[in-house]
Structure 1
Amino acid sequence: MEVDLKAEPHPVMVARREVRGALAVASVPELVCEDAVLVTGELVANAALHAGGPGLLRLTVLDDGALRIEVNDAGPGLPHHRPPSPGRPGGHGLQVVHLLSRSWGTLSGPGGKTVWAEIPGAVPQGPGGPPRAGEGR
């Protein structure tokens, strides 16, 4: 699944809705779906708040059934943990991504970067669900 979030006025809401819908079609277990929706929301929110806005959101099922979530943006900086502060909202996004993902990272490229996370879980492939790695839709 691939969604262009560049022109969306509410990219976090759109991203969560699209991921939830794609995973429901693919019969992904609810706990895996909730983790994926939460991680997607955090990655998109970080791009919106710190990198000039998200670009493409990509969701792929890997060969082992894990979900790979990718969000690209044009921002030059790399994501980093910011310790939460009682007097300041936020600061938990990357901690949530770290706790719910088996791994996550950043790929730099021309014109920006892609922040990705992989959510473990057995994901059956259903009709119309997210493509497996290498299938591309």
Structure 2
Amino acid sequence: MEIDLTAEPHPVITARSTVRDALTARSVPDPIREDTVLVTCELVANAALHAGGPGMLQLTVLADGALRIAVSDASTEPPRRRQASLGRPGGHGLQVVHLLSRDWGTMAVPGGKTVWAEIPGDAPQAPGGPPKEVEGG
């Protein structure tokens, strides 16, 4: 599945409903669906808040049943995990991505970057590893 969020006035809402509907239609179990929706929302929100807005959102089923979420944006700056504080907003998004994903990272693409995360499908939930910068295009 691929959707262009560039012109969406509310990209997080659009991404959430589109991904949830697509996974529900494919009978993806609730815990996997909800983890995927949450990670998608965090990646899209980060692109909206820190990278000038999201571009393309891609959701792919990998050979092992995992779900790969990829969100592009026009910034070349990689995402950075901030120290979250209970007393102030922000800083939790990439921590959520890190905890719910088996792996996540960034990939340089023409005109910006793509931030991706993989949610285990049939495999047991595993904590995410450190973010990886991947060269490529």
TM-score category of the 2 structures, normalised to the smaller one: 0.7 to 0.9
TM-score scaled by structure 1? Answer: 0.87
Alignment match, 1:128: none
Question: Are 1:10 and 2:10 matched, yes or no?
Answer: yes
How far apart are residue 110 of structure 1 and its match?
1.3
Alignment match, 1:67: 67
Alignment match, 2:127: none
Alignment match, 1:55: 55
Stretches of 4+ aligned residues off by more than 3 angstroms: none
RMSD: 1.2
Alignment match, 1:94: 94
User: Secondary structure of 1:99's partner?
Assistant: helix
Alignment match, 1:79: 79
TM-score scaled by structure 2? Answer: 0.87
Higher RCO, 1 vs 2 (CA within 8 Å, ≥6 residues apart) = 1
How far apart are residue 121 of structure 1 and its match?
1.4
* Percent identity between the two aligned chains: 71
Distance 1:121 1:78 in 2: 26
Segments of 5+ residues of structure 2 without an aligned counterpart are 124-137
